[in-house]
Structure 1
């Protein structure tokens, strides 16, 4: 549009389609993370340091920092969206939005690449997957997850984490 190749009207007509396409691509990338979900489902079979070893070394689980960074990026987008809702973005705001979206993608990728080293980290990763499912599919994400290829893995992992958390509290 800035180069004069399309008009503002054409941009306004095409932008929702482009946005929907980007969202669907992100959903597909998220949905195809079956390797990570398989690893979570079989976490006891992977050689990781025990919680006692991790505490003795005083090294925090790397997935926790990655999750915190991603949640911060998500919050930044929520805050930004609240300031521009209901109006057209300026060029500077589009640039800002693009930077925030890039940070969201990068921090999500860092979470998926992180390997939890503690039970706390594994549980946090499952909860993070549920958090991302809710961002993607909305409040009714559990019903949508049941329809997806990897949804059963996520729901089963989340149920296990929730049951373990309840047992620790009892």
Structure 2
């Protein structure tokens, strides 16, 4: 069996693996333009050689508690175009070892052995599938509806009650 080559993305004390063929590059924490209306997992946008790339909080996407500030951004190719995930230390390449078991985290594809560690393999398409694109010209920024957004269930009458 051939080893899959991955990039190990540190998020706090945990390591997450992304298939190396999905990684475009790793950049030092970029200067961000914040989006006031963006959900909390979208930290902002940055310019990468003329392309606007959203920086997503990896811990927030995985439902993990906030931890250390991001030091690096791992730029990935996704169905929505380029997106970047935060990393709290410099990501590195490795060979993915034997599967250890499943993972309960959203957007993941199991746990694997890498050297002396156990890592969780990310599936970028699954991780971002919960999002819907917000079109901004040619670029897409993944966003979710605001927390607590209420879908209309009936018409509102002038008195303010549902009809």
TM-score range, shorter chain: under 0.3
- The normalised TM-score by structure 2 is 0.20
Q: Higher strand fraction: Structure 1 or Structure 2?
A: 2
Q: Which has the higher contact order (CA 8 A, sep 6+)?
A: 1
- The normalised TM-score by structure 1 is 0.19
